[in-house]
């Protein structure tokens, strides 16, 4: 007859977690309770400014618990089960924090925050290197002319510090598709910069002020 309870949570193996969370009855209930406690403790340690009983920690742990149980078949066993579970709760909590922080910001505002402004005047101040302002013009031109509007918004929003989940939401896409969109934009920018006659060494020299 299989055991109906287990000992210390620390002694639970990865396979025990899978078995118990996939079981029914008291073993499953105990595993859920213990896993929830592990998620709350981990989250409270990494997000120190939130107390254990704060809604962010409690709700994230609960949401992650549901996700973990529903995705348990996707756990490949290439990490500790608890590490995998913690990675999910961290992502749930961070997504919620980022959502709350950015909820009232439009895509236009995100994009504007990362726009590189034109030079204030044509007269070049003595302390700005001529080459640096030339390079800036090449980059500004490339952003304006070589990117699609979506690529431009995504790249500028990222430059302005918007997290990818929030940019993806505004563009009606997911984080991986956004990465591909930005990747293609980066390739175009690179080509435009090289086409304008700038080598990687030359750029490095200018950026390092040499």
Partner 1 sequence: MSETDAKLNAVIGMAMSVLPEEIGCDDCFDYFAAYADHLTNGTPVPEPLRMVGSHLERCAFCMEELELLLEAMKAR
Give me the residues that bind partner 1 (CB under 8 A), please.
10, 38, 41-47, 78-80, 82-84, 86-87, 89-91, 94, 114, 116-117, 135-136, 139, 142-143, 155, 158-159, 163-165, 174-176, 178-180, 182-183, 186-187, 189-190, 193, 200, 203, 207
Decide whether 24 or 82 has the Cβ nearer to partner 1. 82
Decide whether 17 or 84 has the Cβ nearer to partner 1. 84
Decide whether 29 or 200 has the Cβ nearer to partner 1. 200
Q: State both tokens at 70.
A: 């529903």
Q: What is the dihedral of CA 203, 206, 207, 210, to 10 degrees?
A: 130
Selection from 125, 103, 117 nearest residue 170 by Cα:
103
Decide whether 88 or 107 has the Cβ nearer to partner 1. 88
**In the bound complex, what is the minimum distance in angstroms from residue 93's beta carbon to partner 1?**
8
**In the bound complex, what is the minimum distance in angstroms from residue 84's beta carbon to partner 1?**
4
**In the bound complex, what is the minimum distance in angstroms from residue 83's beta carbon to partner 1?**
4
Decide whether 145 or 176 has the Cβ nearer to partner 1. 176
Q: What is the dihedral of CA 120, 124, 126, 128, to 10 degrees?
A: 70
**In the bound complex, what is the minimum distance in angstroms from residue 104's beta carbon to partner 1?**
20
Decide whether 37 or 66 has the Cβ nearer to partner 1. 37
**In the bound complex, what is the minimum distance in angstroms from residue 186's beta carbon to partner 1?**
5
Q: State both tokens at 3.
A: 């055991």
DSSP codes of every residue in 11-23: G--HHHHHHHHHS
Selection from 82, 36, 78 nearest residue 60 by Cα:
36
**In the bound complex, what is the minimum distance in angstroms from residue 97's beta carbon to partner 1?**
10
- The C-alpha atoms of residue 57 and residue 89 are separated, in whole angstroms, by 9
**Helical spans, DSSP H, in 119-199:** 130-145, 149-159, 164-171, 175-195
Selection from 109, 108, 180 nearest residue 149 by Cα:
108
């Amino acid at each position: 007859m299989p055991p109906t309870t287990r000992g210390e949570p620390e002694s639970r193996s990865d396979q025990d977690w899978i078995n118990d969370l996939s079981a029914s009855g008291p073993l499953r209930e105990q595993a859920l309770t213990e896993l929830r406690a592990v998620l709350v403790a981990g989250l409270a340690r990494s997000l120190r400014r939130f107390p254990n009983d704060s809604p962010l920690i409690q709700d994230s742990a609960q949401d992650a618990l549901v996700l973990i149980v529903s995705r348990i078949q996707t756990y490949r066993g290439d990490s500790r089960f608890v590490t995998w579970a913690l990675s999910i709760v961290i992502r749930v909590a961070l997504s919620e924090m980022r959502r709350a922080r950015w909820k009232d910001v439009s895509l236009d505002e995100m994009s504007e925050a990362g726009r590189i402004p034109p030079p204030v005047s044509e007269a070049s101040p003595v302390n700005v290197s001529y080459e640096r302002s030339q390079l800036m013009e090449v980059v500004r031109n490339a952003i304006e002319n070589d990117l699609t509007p979506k690529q431009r918004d995504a790249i500028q929003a990222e430059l302005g510090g918007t997290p990818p989940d929030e940019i993806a939401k505004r563009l009606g896409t997911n984080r991986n598709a956004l990465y591909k969109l930005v990747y293609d934009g980066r390739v175009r920018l690179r080509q435009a910069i090289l086409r304008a006659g700038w080598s990687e060494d030359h750029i490095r020299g200018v950026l390092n002020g040499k």
